[in-house]
Amino acid sequence: MAISYLVTGFSWNLLSDILAQFQYAFMQHAYAAGAIVAIVAGVVGYFVVLRSLSFAGHALSHVGFAGATGAVALGVNPIYGLLVFTVSGAMGMGVLGKRIYGRDVAIGIVLAWTLGLGVLFLSLYSGYATEAYALLFGEILGISQTDLIATLIAGVVTLIAMAIMYRPLLFASIDSDVAEARGVPVRLLSILFMVVLAISVSEAVQVVGVLLIFALLVTPPAIAERLTARPARAIALSVTLALLFTWVGLFISFYLPYPVSFFITTLAFGTYLGVRLWIFVRPRFANVSPQSV
Amino acid sequence: MISESRVGKTDMTSEGKNVGLTVSLQDAAVQLENRMIWDNANINVEQGEFIAVVGPNGSGKSTLLRVLLGLQHLSKGHVQVLGETPHRGNQAIGYVPQRRSFDSDVPIRGRDLVMFGLEGLLWGFALSRPSQRRRQHLVEETLISVEAVAYANRPVGKLSGGEQQRLVLAQALIGKPRLLLLDEPLANLDLRNQIAIPQLVAKLARANCTTVLLVTHDINPLLPVVNRVIYIAKGNIVIGKPEEVITTETLSRLYDAPVEVVRDSNGRLFVVGLEQEVAHPHED
């Protein structure tokens, strides 16, 4: 990371800047992996916000931390540990179904314990703190070709799953009582969605890390849902924002000696703040009722 | 409106079941955790009838709907809905559950809510444009029929109780159900809508020969439109015309306590003498 800003300077010619960045394989991988993760997070995140599962998503990333550090301690690729732990955690939460609401305390307790477990695994692996740092805060600039392919496969699987579940899941998320009475398998969808969420979380950890998962999974859809009440449009907007935050964050980080995660989270937060401010002042300017479409 | 062949016919299947009956309960009883909710229910509802389900809180009105939806089993007796045993996901039934209103930040438009009635059960993506357009057309038609076009593009959470009620009604009606189950649709509505919604339901049900079971705690707004009343109290359940059921004699027998039905100058009915008996601590 630290060497990147020394290589080429920012020239105000965006095209040549981008081309300069693309000379480096690690930057190509970063842009590609960032794009996959952002698209998946944008789509899945829409339902995370809709189903009020943001804390559960956050908890899953911490469960994943224990899995990843456990894998590192065993000398296995952390992504496998991440997947195994997040998916099992997700299935546990999915089985709870509707009862998950109001279980913040229980989730928080499990979350704290898994972080402790992660710390134990880290100490067992007598390696460097960089591994922990990468898991906690992301390491998008260190993504290998193999990681990229794994990310791509996981991304395609989650997007196909989302495309298949889309309409019943939307129905169940908005109005689960009616959906259930109409014959939508609400419980099954709840479990399936949590598994999809687990896979997305595992992917996103690579880019923004365990602690910053909200920036991609929650902030973009939260912004989108404030701006439009059309589901398809909100999902498109959420994906666009996630993609924009990731790519712009990457672009800036090439020239400045600060972590990519910082830029991504700052862009996300800044946009959220800006949008809320805009929604607040808009009716005062336009003199119309606050009616988003 | 095209009337389809399924509407309003009374014929016998090979098993001898009367498929002209929308709902048929024989000696039916429901028990929840060893508590008898109601017993000895003998109810036959014919296609196209508008029935109000009335009774005090906790008497088992919603339970009756859950039985018909296949979400609650009988502890004894028999039940048939549209000629078959009740089962989950019966597409011939439209259902509007009892609800608090939608959260104010639900990020979905009224028309999306109505569309769930058609697309909520479809897996995968709409690949065929014509069928997509046909569904959108149907949503438009249904929105017009419930007079909800004006606010169909606004977020559901920002709408009033009456507006939301029209939208969920549209959602339940869009699949052209043969049986419509409405659980307390008049709760939390202003007076104007307490009159308007039953009349709207009655008009639309008549046009499609849809059978309606509407749960309510106040029969008065429904008196102009209902054919019959199901009254549930103290585990007893009767059906009949309002003037037969809501009488001092019948209700006293039902409640197993002396109650009196009085009628005011506008024809509104009031049941008095129930305060102690009906003061039930929980909702049903």
What pLDDT digit, counting tens, does each position of A60-73 carry?
Answer: 888 888 998 888 88
pLDDT of residue A272: 94
Whole-angstrom distance, CA of residue B167 vs CA of residue B247: 35
**Residue B185 and residue B84 in one domain:** yes
Helices (H) and strands (E) in chain B, counts: 8, 11
Percent of chain A exceeding pLDDT 70 equals 89
Q: Domain for residue B282, yes or no?
A: no
Of A82-86, B17-21, B237-241, the poorest mean pLDDT is in B17-21
Q: Domain for residue A6, yes or no?
A: no
Indicate the pairing of strand B228-233 with strand B35-46. Answer: unpaired
Confidence of residue A167 (pLDDT cuts 50, 70, 90): very high
Q: Domain for residue B73, yes or no?
A: yes
Residues A76/A251, Cβ–Cβ less than 8 Å: no
Q: Nearest residue on chain A to B171, judged by CA atoms?
A: A178
**Which among B91, B115, B121 is the top mutation candidate for probing chain A, defined by the most A β-carbons within 10 Å of its own β-carbon?**
B121
Whole-angstrom distance, CA of residue A48 vs CA of residue A198: 11
Say whether pLDDT at A18 is over 90.
Answer: no
Q: Nearest residue on chain B to A182, judged by CA atoms?
A: B89
Contact with chain A for residue B211, Cβ under 8 A: no
pLDDT of residue A129: 65
Give how far B262 is from chain A: nearest CA, Å.
37
| Of the residues B155, B176, B197, the one at which a domain ends | B176
Domain count, chain B: 2
**Residue B38 and residue B164 in one domain:** no
Residues A221/A48, Cβ–Cβ less than 8 Å: yes
Q: Domain for residue B260, yes or no?
A: no
Q: Average pLDDT for residues A169-179, to the nearest whole number?
A: 91
- The domain that holds A32 is classified in CATH as 1.10.3470.10
Residues B59/B234, Cβ–Cβ less than 8 Å: yes
Residues A86/A213, Cβ–Cβ less than 8 Å: no
Helix (H) or strand (E) holding A176: helix A176-182
Q: Average pLDDT for residues A73-78, to the nearest whole number?
A: 84
pLDDT of residue A254: 87
- Can you give the residue range of the structural domain that contains B125? 94-176
The structure tokens 């994906």 sit at A239
Say whether pLDDT at A119 is over 50.
Answer: yes
Residues B95/B181, Cβ–Cβ less than 8 Å: yes
> Which residues sit opposite B38 in a β-bridge?
B30
**Residue B56 and residue B166 in one domain:** no
Say whether pLDDT at A247 is over 90.
Answer: yes
Whole-angstrom distance, CA of residue B263 vs CA of residue B166: 30
Contact with chain A for residue B96, Cβ under 8 A: yes
Please list every residue in chain A whose beta carbon sits closer than 8 Å to the beta carbon of residue B158: 291
**Residue B190 and residue B88 in one domain:** yes
Please list every residue in chain B whose beta carbon sits closer than 8 Å to the beta carbon of residue A164: 123-124
B 116-145 → A contacts, CB under 8 A: 116, 119-125
pLDDT of residue B47: 92
| Of the residues B156, B176, B196, the one at which a domain ends | B176
**Residue B162 and residue B183 in one domain:** no
CB-based contact A183 B91, cutoff 8 Å: yes
Give how far A241 is from chain B: nearest CA, Å.
17
User: pLDDT digits over B69-123, tens only?
Assistant: 998 999 999 999 999 999 888 889 999 988 767 888 888 999 999 999 988 888 8
Residues A198/A163, Cβ–Cβ less than 8 Å: no
Q: Nearest residue on chain B to A183, judged by CA atoms?
A: B89
User: pLDDT digits over B120-138, tens only?
Assistant: 888 887 667 788 889 999 9
pLDDT of residue B283: 40
Q: Nearest residue on chain A to B152, judged by CA atoms?
A: A293
pLDDT of residue A97: 63
Confidence of residue A202 (pLDDT cuts 50, 70, 90): confident
User: pLDDT digits over B155-192, tens only?
Assistant: 999 998 889 999 999 999 998 999 999 999 988 888 88
Q: Domain for residue B66, yes or no?
A: yes
Q: Domain for residue A228, yes or no?
A: yes
Whole-angstrom distance, CA of residue B89 vs CA of residue B70: 8
Phi-psi region of B29 (alpha: psi -120 to 50; beta: other; left: phi over 0): beta
Whole-angstrom distance, CA of residue A224 vs CA of residue A271: 11
CA distances from B161 to B200, B217, B265, B284 (A): 15, 18, 30, 21
pLDDT of residue A46: 96
pLDDT of residue B17: 46
∠ at Cα A242 (A236, A245), nearest 5°?
A: 135
- Can you give the residue range of the structural domain that contains A107? 23-286
